[in-house]
Amino acid sequence: MKIYHNPRCSKSRCAVDWLKENDIDFEVVEYLKNPLSKDELQQILIQLNIPASALVRKSEDEYIRFIKDEVLSEDEILDLMVKFPKLIERPIVIGDTFAVIARPLENLVEKLKKNN
């Protein structure tokens, strides 16, 4: 299992703590330190079964500057998320048979219940 994590985000830290407390093996991917490629991000979107626009954090300055009042294609939004990884919603947890945005944490808990 992988968690795409931003240690400065309380929701992301909460998900990491919950996984540890429940003895679940996982790999942490700090996507701000190690930015995702466009291909990696596209694969995550496929696993989540959502468009790029649904993965964008709308509270970020980059969203307000580059996306908010624009009509952009999904590909253009994806390019912006690659260029500005802070735009990517977090945390994202990818398991063998599921993918989920673990915000709120209950999303992750429910996915794990359904997949066990």
In the numeric block, the tokens 């944490």 are attached to 105
Verify whether residue 9 is a known catalytic residue.
yes
Distance CA 48, CA 64 (A): 24
User: Count of CB atoms within 10 A of residue 15's CB?
Assistant: 28
| Pairing of β 27-30 and β 2-5 | parallel
Distances (CA, A) of 56 to 11, 19, 68, 91: 16, 24, 11, 12
Q: Compute the CA torsion angle 51, 57, 59, 63 (nearest 10 deg).
A: -60
3, 9, 56, 92: the active-site residue: 9
Active-site residues, by number, are 9
